[in-house]
Each structure stands twice: as structure tokens, then as C-alpha cells.
Amino acid sequence: MNAQIDFLYLNEEDMIKAGVKDMAGCVEAMDEMFRLLKMGDYRMGGANGNSHGVMMTFPLESPFPNMPLDGPDRRFMAMPAYLGGDFDMVGMKWYGSNTENKQKGLPRSILMLTLNDKDTGAPLAYMSANILSAYRTGAVPGVGVKYFAKEAAKVIGIIGPGVMSKTALAASIAVRPGIDTVKIKGRSQKSLDDFVKYIERELPGIKKVEIVEDIESAVRGSDVVVIATSTETGDPSLYPYIKEEWIEPGTVICCPASARFDEDFIINRAHNVADNIELYEAWADEMPYPAYHTIPIPAVHCMDLIADGKLSQEGIDDLGDIMVGKKPCHKKEDEIVIFSVGGMPIEDVAWGTIVYRNALKANIGLKINLWNEPHLA
């Protein structure tokens, strides 16, 4: 037997060469991932097989001088998953996050993805995952736009012009190429300037960019809205608020981060859609009630409303049920869709597998030897 193990290392430049920025391809990969998810051909962490991941945080105070203390977005997280179908791959995204990174010229989170042989556990690839994670995160709202947005959509409102919104915008344009107007609500001039430069550099089809002063202006007149702000959790009254009367009929609102809507609207008129309903059920089990105070995504609020007896189980749909035809894409004409995006490691494994296979075909990356023969077999 040959017990030698080599694996492929892909740095960020390698990932770009291997096609990690192919947004149309990423949306297609996420579409297929959701179909496999609905079939059940996947696993994630936890006893329920649907856990977002395992998070390690730090205490507010510690007697140990070297131990980090809690702070904004300060955590480490492991996100393992298996995805079947043509992907047929096991992997894990690992990352550390700290808002103070920005003062050092670093991203808030630094991410890596490992892909492993599903039988032996041997590493196949170890890859830079910041761009990969950003693109798969944006591609999922793109899938929502593909299924729910008007075919003639032209205007998109961006609330929170960060990395998630950049890739969500690119994905939205990939599936609705008629989008030619972007309205942006941001908090800092730097983030607004960076977003405009990104559009000019990457999305030349956009004809009009409008900087707006408030959330209402970003929402009114938009066919698609992306809400992706960084918000402190714990107090839902601080989450970005969207009033029903601001929203145009037929709008899809993509929520990969915190967002708040009136309960009456959620319960009685909105079409609530989750990327994976079992993910939110897992969060409801894992987090203290009300989970929406900890995880500020609208579908989590829906789970709390179900627990309160205010919303029925039929009050929120699973995207996979819609994709395979078990549920209608639209329950009524000109309804407003609130699409919640929780983020799952099977997304990273899906896109990471495709990029890894591209790299193998094109001879991109550095082959690293783990061992020729294991000393402790």
C-alpha cells in the first residue's frame, strides 16, 4: 500500500486564478447545494446534523493575563460539513474574528478551508477562504433573487455597504442582468467610497449609483433590497428597521445579517423564506429563548414567534421546498418576500470543492507533503 499523503495549498492569489470570483458559477453551485440539502445528502455539525458550527468566545474578565477578553465580533469558530452529489466532499471552515483587526489593516475575520478525503480523513486541500466565503455568502442571496425577484428588476437597495453587500450585489446582477441602479445607505464615508469604487471597477453595467441618507430611501422604489449591516446583538430595537409601507409590491428583501420588521407584517402579509429551516430549528434548540436577541436574522424571529404561538409552522417556507416544487414560489401576486440567509458550511464545501478541482486541472497551487509513511500507523 502507498501511505504517502500530499495535499494542495492554495493562497489567495491561487484561489483567484482558480476561479473563486466566478459569481455566476458560484450561484449555480449554491443552487445545486440547496437541491442536495433538500434531498438530505449532506451533514453539518451537532447531534441534529444542522448546526452552523461550534463557536468559542472569551470572558469579559479573566485572572489569566494572556487570555483574550470578549469584544466586538471576537470569536473563533469551526464549521464542519459533508456535501454529497457530484461534490462528495468533507470539509471545515475555521476562522478567527476580531473587529480590532481593521486597525491593523486586516479583515475582521481571517478564514481557512480544509477539504478532506471522506473515507480516510486525509487532507486534500488547505485554502485561503476569505474571498471564497464572501462569494458563497453573496451567492446565496443571489439564489433568492433568482427565484423571487421580478424578471424586470432594475433597482437594488443596499443597506450596509460592506463585503457581504458587494458580493450580494454581484450575485443579484448575475441572475437579474437588467439591474442598472444601486441605492446605498451606509454609515461611514469610507465604506460608501469603497462600495462606489467596487461598482465602477467590477460592475460596469450599473448606470446609476445613488447615496441615500436613510434606510427608507434605500428601500422605496427598489425591486431588491440587501440588508447586511454589522449590528450589536441583544436588543432587537437596534436592528435595522424596515417599515412595510416603504416596500414596493413584489420586492425581495435579502437578509444575511440583522433586520427587523413589524410582527403584524411578518405574521399576516410577508412571505417568509429560510435558506434551511432546519438550521433555524437547530438555533432555536441551541440558543436561549428568545433566540432573535442572539441571532438577529428574521427567520430566527419567526422561530420565536412560532414558539410564542403567534405564527404557524406554515408561516415560514424552506427555500428547498420551493426549488423542488413542493411549495409555490409566490403565494400571491406582488407579495413581499423576506429571505433569511443564515450561512452554512456546506456552502463553503460546495464552492471550495469546485475551486479546488479547477486548481488541480490547471496545476495551480503548492503541493505539500504530510508524510511519505506515517510513524504512528
pLDDT classification of 193: cutoffs 50, 70, 90: very high
Q: Are residue 17 and residue 43 in the same domain, yes or no?
A: yes
- Res 113 pLDDT > 80: yes
Residues 150, 62, single domain; the answer is no
Indicate whether 168 and 98 sit together in one domain.
Answer: no
Amino acid, res. 55: M
CA distances for 8 relative to 13, 117, 345, 369, 372, angstroms: 14, 13, 20, 9, 15
Q: What pLDDT score does 332 carry?
A: 93
Which of 153, 138, 161, 149 is CA-nearest to residue 212? 161
pLDDT, tens only, 301-340? 999 999 999 999 999 999 999 999 999 999 999 999 999 9
Q: What is the CATH number of the domain that holds 195?
A: 3.40.50.720
Q: What are phi and psi for residue 283, nearest 5 degrees? A: -60, -40
- Asked whether the predicted pLDDT for residue 116 surpasses 90, the reply is yes
Tally of domains in the chain: 2
Burial of 105 (C-beta count, 10 Å sphere; 0-12/13-18/19+): exposed
Lowest mean pLDDT among 21-30, 65-74, 352-361: 65-74
User: How far, rounded to the nearest angstrom, does the alpha carbon of residue 273 sit from its chain's CA centroid?
Assistant: 15
The whole-number pLDDT of residue 7 equals: 98
In percent, how much of the chain has pLDDT > 90? 92
On whether both 186 and 126 belong to a single domain, the answer is: no
The pLDDT tens digits for 225-259 are 999 998 888 899 999 999 999 999 999 999 999 99
377, part of any domain? no
pLDDT band at 21 (very low <50, low <70, confident <90, very high): very high
DSSP assignment string, 234-263? S-GGGSPB--GGGSPTT-EEEESS--B--H
The answer to whether residue 286 scores a pLDDT higher than 90 is no
Among 263, 242, 239, 264, CA closest to 253: 242
Q: Is the predicted pLDDT of residue 97 greater than 90, yes or no?
A: yes
Which H/E stretch holds residue 211?
A: strand 208-211
Other C-beta atoms closer than 10 Å to the C-beta of 289 total 12
Give the Cα separation of 14 and 1 in Å (integer).
Answer: 32
Is the domain of 154 the same as that of 281? yes
Closest CA to 340 of 144, 196, 200, 149: 144
Are 159 and 125 part of one and the same domain? no
**pLDDT of amino acid 232:** 83
pLDDT band with cut points at 50, 70 and 90 for residue 72: confident
88 shares its domain with 150: no
Indicate whether 109 and 183 sit together in one domain: no
Helix (H) or strand (E) segment spanning residue 367: strand 366-371
The confidence score (pLDDT) of residue 233 equals 86
- Give yes or no for residue 282 having a pLDDT over 90: no
Half-sphere exposure (Cβ direction) of 303: Cα atoms closer than 13 Å = 28
Average pLDDT over residues 219-224: 98
CATH number for the domain that contains residue 38: 3.30.1780.10
Do residues 166 and 218 both lie within one domain? yes
Range of the domain at 87: 5-132+346-371
Q: Is residue 376 part of a domain?
A: no
pTM more than 0.85: yes
At 44, phi and psi to the nearest 5? Answer: -125, -170
111 and 169 belong to one structural domain: no
Whether 1 shows a pLDDT value over 80: the answer reads no
Of residues 139, 167, 163, 166, the one with CA closest to residue 28 = 139
